[in-house]
Amino acid sequence: MRLSTFLAATAATLALATAGAANATQYLLQYSDPVTAFGTGDFGTVDVTGNSSALHFVINLTAPGMIVDTGAHYAVAMKLSGSGFTYVGPDAFTLTQPGSISNSPFSGFNLGLNCVSCGNGASNPFGSSLTFDITGTGLGVLAANNYDGHAINFAVDMVRSGGLTGVVGGGLGGAVPEPSAWALMILGFGGVGAAIRSRRRATLVTA
C-alpha cells in the first residue's frame, strides 16, 4: 500500500473513531467562599460524560474535603440545559429544581442535590466522592454566574478538618479523550510509523 493511501485511510479511521467516542469534560473546583478562609486552590474536580439524554457525573474532592449539606447550602448545585430531569444515584441525595438557586457566594444554578443522610451537616459528611447520573432531554452543562471574573458551573458544599464548612465552586477545565479514543490514536500512529519504516526499506532495496 502506498504511504499516502495508508495515511489517508488511517486519518479517516481516526476521525470516525474520535467522532464516535465520548469525551469527558472536567470542571475544576478552584474557588471558595471567602468567609471560610479556604482561600483558592485545588479543591477537587467534577468529571462529566454522556450525551443529551443522560449525563454521568463524578465529583472528587481533594483531601481532607468531604461533601456535606449544612442546610444553608445545597450539597451540589449545577446549571443544566434541558427538561425532564431525573436523578439516578445514591439514596443519600435527592434532586431539587427550585428554579434559580444560589450556593452563596455562587449563584445562577437551576438544579441542586440535597444530602438527606448528612443529618447534622458538618458532623455527618457524605464523603469525598460522589457518582450519579442525570437523565432528561436536551441535556448540557451551562455556565452559571461569574464569580470574581470566573465562570462557575458547579458548587459543592464542603467540610474540612476541624469542622470548617463552606462552598467551593469552579468551571471548565478541559476535554479529555476517553481511553478507547487514546487507544485508537496510538494504534493509528503506530501504523503510520510502520508504513514509513516499510517504505524506507523498500527504497533501500530498489536503490
Residue spans of the domains in the chain: they are 1-21+178-207, 23-177
Q: Looking at residue 72, what is its pLDDT?
A: 80
Q: What is the mean pLDDT of residues 184-199?
A: 47
Which of 48, 52, 79 is closest to 142 using CA atoms? 79
DSSP 112-153: EEEETT-TTGGGS--BSEEEEEEEEEEEEE----EETTEE--
Please check whether residue 66 is in contact with residue 157, taking contact to mean a CB–CB distance below 8 angstroms: no
**Whole-angstrom distance, CA of residue 203 vs CA of residue 144:** 59
Which one-letter DSSP state was computed for residue 71? S
Phi, psi of 100 (to 5 degrees): -85, 120
Which one-letter DSSP state was computed for residue 202? H
Q: Who contacts 32 (Cβ-Cβ below 8 Å, separation ≥6)?
A: 38, 39, 40, 41, 43, 166, 167, 168, 169
**Whole-angstrom distance, CA of residue 157 vs CA of residue 161:** 14
Which of 187, 194, 167 is closest to 36 using CA atoms? 167
0.95 exceeded by pTM: no
Q: Looking at residue 121, what is its pLDDT?
A: 76
145-190 confidence digits (pLDDT tens): 899 889 999 999 999 877 888 899 999 985 544 444 434 444 444 5
Q: Looking at residue 71, what is its pLDDT?
A: 78
16-44 confidence digits (pLDDT tens): 344 344 578 999 999 998 777 787 789 99
Question: At residue 2, does pLDDT exceed 70?
Answer: no
Q: Looking at residue 4, what is its pLDDT?
A: 46
DSSP 8-44: HHHHHHHHHHHHHS-EEEEEEEEEE-GGGT--SS--E
